[in-house]
Structure 1
């Protein structure tokens, strides 16, 4: 194509593509230096008479200018040169769409207007003092070989196309219809002349400027309602004329900038213009914005607009009709209303255009709403959401479907509604747990119906606002699942929560024997249940064990011992205590000559006279538990309850034949509320406690003693102190 142009004119406008000297995402300073160096090396080998430089691009390793046949031959011999393509001419691709796409709901119900999102518009410029646009202009620049505005602002629109496109995005609605993102900022980059034409190199230079100023100007979106006259059936990023543009556009996409471009208006079923055909660009075709009847009213689009417009018409139209003039191909991405679109016009008024040029800024405006809703969206995510939430439309000329975007559904999808469940993730059987469901604010309308389903539980339904709570108790261990479904007029969203339940820990033990003479060996059987892995046995005599198994413990001293077992683990903690569990006594041998047995444990002294027994016996003293004994009634125990036994060496029980004495020392603390003078030894008589006749208390040395002829169960009791308050009566009054 370049050689053919040289034959006819002797000189051609070209774009020279050089081998990329640095990675696309290399540090900016490193990449700029490398690009500048390779450009300088090529320019140094081109005679000035054979190449006239127009643009030395900043970010793309390319050059634009006019070349002679001799210059082309020299270029093609240089090692850095990858390709040379024509600098193709480009042109701009020439209310009811806003409510049709639900954008009015986005504005009014959700308060999203594109605020904080800046859109760069590469076009014919902008009417900088238009009442609907002036307050949204962030910056301007101009790169148009066909001439920038001679005014103080080079990007001032001299055609009207760019002003209409900018208005579709951000018109304030004062004069012309409101735009899709009325509070979005506009960075107007003029790359088309007053006749709405320019060159590929112009918008490459504009893209260079956008890359350099992207961060400072917070540019998140680029709209390019322009394109080449040449059409491409597929991706065109490797075409020599497009390589530099594709490099810049790829850098913008990598930096998080979403680029929209119009597919063109030639009515092609299988090819679209550039830059829409570049893979990092979202290619936008056009639909009608409403039922407009036949379009055009008479004849064909070519009859009306001439030039490259197709010889076609649409006999019936609606907001779901793909316009017959809209180019389509396998790389077309989405469609949006583009006919007829009234928006801002030059001179502060309104203008009506139709074409894919108006469809592309419609999509860009919707993207601005999406980014205000969720500023973390990446270009690929924006494209996918627009496609997924769009309405599939059939393009009859190609037989392919293309999704028409819908602003409301797209914005809602940027922060899809969710329902979360908060609550414990571990627990124990037989315990009650609270779970809370919270619907995200993007549910938007209340009431919300919460349907709760849980393992082994009945389904429960509540009606609430954006949160609801429920309680569950499970009898069995294992993983239990709780599912809640939140439903309102717009959504039905479910989520599931899992809780791992462990068998609740219950401590317990059996033991045998419960009483005996020291040293007493007691077997303890762990009867605990539940999920536990830590155990502590306390035997009451300052001895402990951390084993969870059954235990054997030997009590070597007389006493009454409390025993406890403490457990902990996934099933929780529990302790089982028996405060008077083990009763360990003492023993002594009494010969026929008599003797004394003394216990340091409970200050008990037995004195047996000679010949108290008919032979040698072993006398045992074993503490007794209160449990199972008759109630003391008005008597008070001072914690001396015991049983005395005697056996001969052959194991036969023995009873003394002479009177013996038992003496027990007590303390004031033990005495408690008992009247000291009434303390004495009591024995059981049937189901009643009876005082031994020969029992007495010595309050001076604090002992209680008894003289007895029988061995058996004893309790030292005293009468409870009683306080009497006399009742005083008032004497009768009067004479």
Structure 2
């Protein structure tokens, strides 16, 4: 390789790391050198070429800019420099390539989500060519060109053109191994750098749906111009510190590439070419290198609206960058890690314009696959793609403003600029979302009402406006509730679940650049007391359970509730709340109609009530004569007593109510007794009773009957509410006579009114005893009056067995009633002198024979004889 490859600092970063080396030195060719001549104007090119002493060869004139590139004898350099049409002359030299983190680091994913993908803009990648059919680019490569002039005409093979057709200029920049064998070295492709860079700037995953793309590039909708400006170098010393073969880019090819891009932009204004990416360079420049011959080309493109975005280099310079990034009008990019640290080999310092991620970036490489590379070469296309996105968003915004949008909004990265760490510099790290929003006017949002008050559960509303002076509002949201846009107006609604509460409602409008505007208003929510409905209050008896059932509604859906019932009798109890249902029970001690009030209270203190009526019925008391003990005779229970002896009557009265009870006795002989039992003596019971005191009272009411007689003794138990119950018992009072009378005695006593044995009242009473105890009188034989008794005692047909039976039976019963013969007295019925029955048993047997359907005359006669004998013997 001839000496025109000037010494540079390598800026080539490979996948495994970035290495900084000292610039290699090259010997100048003995006779001719390639030079880049910057002219005062493009039209001076022919005149300058003709004036070269010794002649110019391999002459190339740029199409749009004032440059001529040629080989001249070295002694002719002095004359060229003195030519009045020459602005500057430099020997041509070669630069190595200088080497995506995740897109979210620069907020590129947010920008793409807004729909800004660089569509409608175009970026030029001046690099080592491109894998033209790589699916990561789809059909978005709109132009290709190759400038690769090794200038190696001695045939030693030190250098080779990387143009696919093998010439120094081609209309293709394809580096696919099937189309460009010069890019192949062993099993690898030494030209994959440009493909990787292009993928970072403008790769699109959707274009490789069947592959495994790493995600979108920064501007996945942008078009791509691929320009090959590198040459293959096969000499190890020229490639150091990288192994040979390597790729290096001659400045002359770079200038031609920049010139060609400008021409393409002019010829195709609809492409909107916004930037040329140059991930290449070398050298150590701590100050601007505006004497670099490439400045005019960079300036010319910038004037045409095309920024030249250049890598700073990867030599670990703390306060210097490589060339051409040191040119003041270049947009120079440094490298950060994904965490915004700068501990890597990227050059940095005051000449940096911006920084971007550049560590382990996945992107396209040759042969339709993907790989990872690191370096400022990877940082640079982040910025190039960003410019495409900004141009797409702002088609008419000047390029200078777009560059300022990037530098003014980036995240500040401060780093040391000397080994001692005593000096620092701050460079913005690309924030694409902030840059997108920099020239944007945020939406303006206003609310019509500053303070809204509403009940919980009711709908709160507000209205307002939302406008965007330079764009479109794409989203309108509310911090709570729902907001609906309608043109430049909006309406908001919200149904608060709980009150009382105070909240701030914020309405946010987002425009098409992702920028927001807000307005806020206050919302006050009042608590609403529960609405209570008493469904039923069951009717019940006193001292029985009354059940209240109710329900309530409360718009406060998160409220908890308690409930209480005022039962109208001075009692207040808690109620059971289950969901929105309420139930409570109560027992009243007395009858009455009671107003019942249910109150439900929420946890915010709101209370609602409803009323009902409890109807309690009086329950009559019970009445039961419990004493004295009864004796069962002929199927009925009878209290037996003796005339002149007290009968120990007792009665039990119960009442579920707390009532005063009155026991009213009637003994059946005209005598009565009344006893009162108070609940709380000496006071009478109130109405209604103030307490629950069920009653269970035993009342003793002894009574003495004067004569033998049958009576029905009854008791009525009454409560103080008008309820009553009664009970009675059959009473038989036997006389105290000691002399039994024969039939004749009793015939005389009942027939002869002059008889002094018994009074008429006594006679009637004795008959009443007989009627109670006998199954014959007066079931078979009437025995209510004295004449009826005479008729039975003195039958007219003395031969009739039944009449004779009745007469002697009645006389026996009268002896029993008068007390001279007892039912329990023993009787000898078979004449053997031994008692084998009782009077009562003999009477029951005889009466059974008398009441038979077909009485036996002989049996009746036998019983008549037995009755006669008992009477006579007593």
The TM-score normalised by the length of structure 2 is: 0.43
Alignment of 1:276-291 (within 5 A): 276-289=325-338
**Distance in 1 between the 2:125 and 2:350 partners?**
26
8 Å CA contact retained: 1:59, 1:248 = no
Aligned pair partner of 2:123 in 91, 99, 119: 119
Alignment of 1:15 with 2:36, yes or no, is yes
Q: Which residue pairs with 2:838 in the alignment?
A: none
Alignment of 1:417 with 2:423, yes or no, is no
Structure 1's unaligned 5+ residue stretches are 22-34, 290-318, 424-433, 450-461, 471-484, 496-735
Structure 2's unaligned 5+ residue stretches are 7-24, 151-160, 176-182, 184-190, 233-245, 419-423, 449-462, 492-505, 520-874
Deviation (angstroms), 1:443: 5.5
Q: Which residue pairs with 2:384 in the alignment?
A: 364
**Distance in 1 between the 2:464 and 2:117 partners?**
37
Cα deviation code 1:341-388 (max 9, x no counterpart): 110010000121111111010111122122222212222111111122
Alignment of 1:172 with 2:177, yes or no, is no
Q: Which residue pairs with 1:220 in the alignment?
A: 273
**Distance in 2 between the 1:365 and 1:123 partners?**
15
Cα deviation code 1:320-351 (max 9, x no counterpart): 11243111232211000111111001000012
**Distance in 1 between the 2:382 and 2:517 partners?**
30
Aligned pair partner of 1:232 in 285, 297, 302: 285
Aligned pair partner of 1:183 in 215, 218, 221: 221
Deviation (angstroms), 1:184: 0.9
Task: Name whichever of 247-256 and 73-82 sits farther off.
Answer: 73-82
Deviation (angstroms), 1:7: 6.7
Pair 1:448–1:374, CA change in 2 (3 A):
farther
Aligned pair partner of 2:467 in 434, 438, 442: 438
Aligned pair partner of 1:129 in 107, 112, 133: 133
After the TM superposition, list the runs of 4 or more consecutive aligned residues in structure 1 that deviate by more than 6 angstroms: 1-8, 420-423, 489-492
**Distance in 2 between the 1:176 and 1:64 partners?**
41
**Distance in 1 between the 2:171 and 2:253 partners?**
18
Pair 1:65–1:486, CA change in 2 (3 A):
farther
Q: Which residue pairs with 1:570 in the alignment?
A: none
**Distance in 2 between the 1:165 and 1:323 partners?**
22
Alignment of 1:91 with 2:99, yes or no, is no
Secondary structure of 2:407 counterpart: helix
8 Å CA contact retained: 1:50, 1:70 = no
The TM-score normalised by the length of structure 1 is: 0.51
**Distance in 2 between the 1:488 and 1:203 partners?**
47
Pair 1:487–1:82, CA change in 2 (3 A):
same
8 Å CA contact retained: 2:276, 2:306 = no
Q: Which residue pairs with 2:369 in the alignment?
A: 349
Alignment of 1:39 with 2:71, yes or no, is no
**Distance in 2 between the 1:15 and 1:261 partners?**
20
**Distance in 2 between the 1:5 and 1:83 partners?**
22
Deviation (angstroms), 1:71: 1.2
8 Å CA contact retained: 2:443, 2:516 = no
Deviation (angstroms), 1:73: 3.2
**Distance in 2 between the 1:213 and 1:153 partners?**
12
CA RMSD of aligned residues (A): 3.5
Task: Name whichever of 342-351 and 60-69 sits farther off.
Answer: 60-69
Aligned residues: 411
Pair 1:436–1:113, CA change in 2 (3 A):
closer
Cα deviation code 1:21-58 (max 9, x no counterpart): 4xxxxxxxxxxxxx23x1111211224x4533442223
**Distance in 2 between the 1:130 and 1:66 partners?**
37
Cα deviation code 1:544-587 (max 9, x no counterpart): xxxxxxxxxxxxxxxxxxxxxxxxxxxxxxxxxxxxxxxxxxxx
**Distance in 2 between the 1:166 and 1:95 partners?**
11
8 Å CA contact retained: 2:121, 2:222 = yes
Pair 1:87–1:420, CA change in 2 (3 A):
farther
Pair 1:270–1:54, CA change in 2 (3 A):
farther
Alignment of 1:296-695 (within 5 A): 319-397=339-417, 399-419=424-444, 438-439=467-468, 444-447=474-477, 465=485, 467-468=488-489, 493=517
Pair 1:391–1:52, CA change in 2 (3 A):
same
Pair 1:228–1:13, CA change in 2 (3 A):
farther
Task: Name whichever of 391-400 and 344-353 sits farther off.
Answer: 391-400
Pair 1:463–1:129, CA change in 2 (3 A):
closer
Deviation (angstroms), 1:415: 2.9
